[in-house]
Amino acid sequence: MMTSMRNMGRLAVVVLAMSVVATCTPGRVESTVTAASGATPAPGATLVPSPTARPTTRPSPPPPTAAATTPPTPTTEPTPQRSATADLSGVGSPCPATLPIKPDYARYVLSDDPWPTPDPAAPVPLSLADPLPEAERNTGYPYGSDGSGRYLLHNGLDMVIEDERWAGAVADGMVVVARDDVDELFGWRCDWYGELVVIRLDELWAGRPVYALYGHIRDVQVFEGQRVQRGDPVARQGTAGVAVVAHLHLEVRVGENTFGATQNPLLWVEPPAGSGVIAGRLIDPDGHAWQGITVTLIDRSGTADFTNTWSYLDDPQHLIRPSAGYAENFVFGPVAAGSYDVYTKIQGVEYRQPIEVADGQVSVVEMVTEPYQTPTPEP
């Protein structure tokens, strides 16, 4: 049975006007965004369908006389059909006829529609084990980014470890996929992950199934239909599929095992002891999300380097999804517990928001910018 994230709580940040007012109540911090004019900081195998049952004939016994008899009618056994409630979570889609084309992701623009708002009634994400503790995480290619224009939109978390340790199961569950995706679609295209494992977790989130996907792996230690427990060896990081260096690609899929059902794994995987996570919202006054904006985390003690991330990009399929409870469009994590400023600069205006990160908690920050200013055409 999984437990909630260690001392999980929400440190909520509520945006008011352009002044700072802080009041504290247990488990909640309220403050506002401040616009400042300070300097910018430096910062597998192919599925084989079951064969259709063959017709069988059952002739009647020979009659005692030579009188003609009517030949028996062949009896056809019906082909088994999947029920409407059959579990298809382990079945990929057919491979598309053409490879996907990288969209032209727009940066420093607002979403067409208003961004979702946080649902305070939504349960917090499940508390999942880190599959590769102490692994280095690729902060230059976070969830919802395209790696500064180099790649397709990222819908997972990449981890790299120097040794040959096993990636462990994030929670108790059932293995529904443990094979290659050469002839099945589980990602952007077929043979995207190369080798993958998908575990359907025992614990539901808001009554919906949750799946953990391990991609680009090797030395798979599990099989389809196997039950695993939290921490059991699953596989080693690898270079299967489109990977160019050995790493583990982890996805969290909510509701269904599809490429468009992911959420940011940083909000689901427990941070190391002594650290937390920041879930941020960067929106305009009408609630539209800023896309592809550089956001900087500044340690107020001055002892740690600046950390950059980017607000979620969008694509024609709207593959990037925020969590219901946080409705975030950028995330920092894991972050050592302490005092920080979240900083960004949009259309010449600087925004700086103080935030406290607590051990084992998700701290929430919301930054509301000035309205979008249409650039003045050059004469």
Structure tokens at 248: 């583990």
Nearest residue to 144 (alpha-carbon basis) of 260, 332, 314, 295? 314
Q: What pLDDT digit, counting tens, does each position of 248-259 carry?
A: 999 999 999 999
Q: What pLDDT digit, counting tens, does each position of 187-197 carry?
A: 999 999 999 99
| Model confidence at 71: pLDDT above 70 | no
Cβ neighbours of residue 51 closer than 8 Å, sequence gap 6 or more: none
Nearest residue to 219 (alpha-carbon basis) of 253, 248, 183, 258? 248
pLDDT at residue 99, as a whole number: 87
Q: What pLDDT digit, counting tens, does each position of 157-189 carry?
A: 999 999 999 999 999 999 999 999 999 999 999
Between CA 74 and CA 81, with CA 80 as vertex, the angle to 5 degrees is 130
pLDDT at residue 379, as a whole number: 66
More confident residue, 129 or 38: 129
Among 14-28, 46-60, 317-331, the range with the most confident prediction by mean pLDDT is 317-331
The residue ranges of every structural domain in the chain are 128-267
278, 332 contact by CB (below 8 A): yes
pLDDT at residue 123, as a whole number: 95
Q: What is the mean pLDDT of the chain?
A: 83
* Overall size of the chain counted in residues: 379
227, 173 contact by CB (below 8 A): yes
- pTM (2 d.p.): 0.79
- Partnered with residue 160 across adjacent β-strands are 136
19, 364 contact by CB (below 8 A): no
pLDDT at residue 375, as a whole number: 74
Band of residue 33 on the pLDDT scale cut at 50, 70, 90: very low
331, 264 contact by CB (below 8 A): yes
Q: What pLDDT digit, counting tens, does each position of 92-143 carry?
A: 999 999 888 888 899 999 999 999 999 999 999 999 999 999 999 999 999 9
pLDDT at residue 87, as a whole number: 67
| Model confidence at 344: pLDDT above 80 | yes
Q: Which amino acid is at 76?
A: T
Gyration radius from the chain CA atoms: 26
Q: What pLDDT digit, counting tens, does each position of 350-376 carry?
A: 999 999 999 999 999 999 999 999 876
The verdict on whether omega for the bond into residue 49 sits within 30 degrees of 0, i.e. cis, is no
Q: Distance between CA atoms of 251 and 188, rounded to whole angstroms?
A: 13
Average pLDDT over residues 307-331: 96
Backbone angles phi, psi at 352, to 5 degrees: -135, 125
Average pLDDT over residues 240-247: 96
Task: Please write down the HEC assignment for all residues of 191-218.
Answer: CCCCEEEEEEECCCECCECEEEEEECEE
Neighbour tally for 294: CB within 10 Å: 18
More confident residue, 377 or 83: 377
Which DSSP state fits 297? E
Nearest residue to 289 (alpha-carbon basis) of 252, 258, 326? 326
Between CA 301 and CA 309, with CA 307 as vertex, the angle to 5 degrees is 145
3.40.50.980, 1.10.8.60, 2.70.70.10, 3.40.50.2300: which CATH number matches 128-267? Answer: 2.70.70.10
